Amino acid sequence: MAKLPTDINMDILSRLPVKCLLRFKCVSKSFCSLLDSQEFIKIHLKRSIETNSNLSLILSGTPASILPSSCYWDGKIFSASLDSLNLGVELDHPFKNCKGETLMIDSCNGLIALQNDENDIALWNPATKEHVMFPEFWSDLKDNVYVVFDGFGYDAVNDDYKVVRLIQFGTESVEYTEVDVYSLRTNSWRRIRVDFPYYSPRPWNGTFADGHVHWLVTNNPEDDIANLIVAFDLKSEEFHEVPLPHLENRNEVLVMFVGTLSGRLYFCCLYDHSRPVNVWVMKESWTEAFSIPRRVGDYVKPLSYSKSGGKILMDNCEYAEDEDDIDIWELFWYDLQNQRAAADQVTIHGVPQGWRDTIVCVDSLVSLAAYAGSGVAGREGRMS
């Protein structure tokens, strides 16, 4: 391959999984230089996204020490290839040996933003095992913090990865909201001056799609269910509103949430067990993509399309009737054409049972050092 033109080498190598490419770095200096180049990294990532390949399901225990299942996870995070989904491999994440609870904020281009309640945030590439710790943030927060929720994504215009943090202050209710943005290129936090007249009925972290981080919010502090989506543009660092799809009986919705499918924002809402789970996808406007009959579970979440696009991987939970029991979680492929479960439930061996969080992450060679400098792990930052 060394005698082939560089563009042909890139085309061939861009079709291979990250694990193989990492081994190939040992072949020669020229190979290592090619695979480390930003041009190749972006070509490989683009092909993976376009072909819906090199995807991994990342699973972690939900950070809630009062839940009976939390002891089974013990801060562990697992990965399973979306092509097979039969074996979970424990990952050495940045907060594995830290105290406190760790949760996944979101995934973008192979990077995962992790939050630890005692050590704040880290960006981590599970495929390359590279990570960067954020500069300290919590030291100057006031005591009357009402709720904090984050979002993570990629600013394609400035070629930068950013985390946006919304801090709502108040004692018994929200009095005002502070917005802070972390830039990987500067490895620093800064406060931005924007108006945020919204409230979060459920302070879930944001979802990244199409250059924006999205949250379900309400503009009425008395509402207990969202009535719109607010999107933060990572380029302009401004908010704008996204209306919800038309819902005939919004007051009867039990749970609604947003996520991403093949890079597109989706909206999902759950009613009682007699009604199906409806999923809308944002293209130029909301389009009802599919509807799935409600299974026995109390929680249903779409995760990823299959490579062919004919099936979708669903995460399903049945809450335990007794608080001392463990919630039952299962994965299954749903056949969109035939409108039925495609096969028996998916079993990932080696992964604990019980309450968990799941995200889909593309395996990539995206280098944190290329953005934040060499020796990024533990690198000091600054607050401005």
**pLDDT higher than threshold 50 for residue 384:** no
- pLDDT for position 300: 80
**pLDDT higher than threshold 60 for residue 381:** no
* Rounded distance between C-alpha atoms, residue 377 and residue 159, angstroms: 20
* Rounded distance between C-alpha atoms, residue 166 and residue 156, angstroms: 22
285 falls within a domain: yes
**pLDDT higher than threshold 70 for residue 53:** yes
121 falls within a domain: no
Domain that holds residue 10: 6-45
- pLDDT for position 331: 86
- pLDDT for position 344: 61
Place 322 in a pLDDT band, splitting at 50, 70 and 90: low
% of the chain at pLDDT higher than 90: 40
**pLDDT higher than threshold 50 for residue 339:** yes
What burial letters (b/e) apply to 239-266, b meaning 16+ CB within 10 Å?
A: beebebbebeeeeebeebbbbbbeeebb
* Rounded distance between C-alpha atoms, residue 358 and residue 354, angstroms: 12
- pLDDT for position 201: 81
* pLDDT, tens digit, 9 for 90 and up, residues 108-139: 999 999 998 766 899 999 999 999 998 877 55
39 falls within a domain: yes
What's the mean pLDDT when you consider all of the chain? 83
* Rounded distance between C-alpha atoms, residue 277 and residue 350, angstroms: 29
| Distances in whole angstroms, Cα of residue 45 to Cα of each of 18, 210, 232 | 10, 16, 24
- pLDDT for position 193: 83
At what angle are helices 38-50 and 6-13 packed, to 10 degrees? 40
**pLDDT higher than threshold 50 for residue 5:** yes
110 falls within a domain: no
**pLDDT higher than threshold 50 for residue 171:** yes
Query: What is the DSSP-derived secondary structure letter of residue 252?
Result: G
* Rounded distance between C-alpha atoms, residue 295 and residue 280, angstroms: 19
Q: Are 49 and 41 in contact (CB under 8 A)?
A: no
277 falls within a domain: yes
- pLDDT for position 161: 97
Q: Are 179 and 165 in contact (CB under 8 A)?
A: yes
Least confident of 147-156, 158-167, 199-208, 346-355: 346-355
**pLDDT higher than threshold 80 for residue 370:** yes
Place 356 in a pLDDT band, splitting at 50, 70 and 90: confident
% of the chain at pLDDT higher than 70: 84
128 falls within a domain: no
Region of 210 (left: φ > 0; alpha: ψ -120 to 50; beta: rest) is: left
Q: Give phi and psi for 142, each to the nearest 5.
A: -80, 170
291-311 average pLDDT score: 79
165 falls within a domain: no
Count up the domains in the chain and report the number.
2
205 falls within a domain: no
* pLDDT, tens digit, 9 for 90 and up, residues 55-87: 999 998 755 444 444 455 677 899 999 988 889
Q: Other C-beta atoms within 10 Å of 26: how many?
A: 8
**pLDDT higher than threshold 70 for residue 263:** yes
Q: Are 246 and 264 in contact (CB under 8 A)?
A: no
The amino acid present at 306, given as its one-letter code, is S
Q: Are 317 and 297 in contact (CB under 8 A)?
A: yes
* Rounded distance between C-alpha atoms, residue 89 and residue 28, angstroms: 29
Q: Give phi and psi for 336, each to the nearest 5.
A: -70, -35
**pLDDT higher than threshold 80 for residue 272:** no
18: enclosing H helix or E strand: helix 18-24
Q: Are 120 and 134 in contact (CB under 8 A)?
A: yes
- pLDDT for position 224: 80
285: enclosing H helix or E strand: none
231-245 average pLDDT score: 95
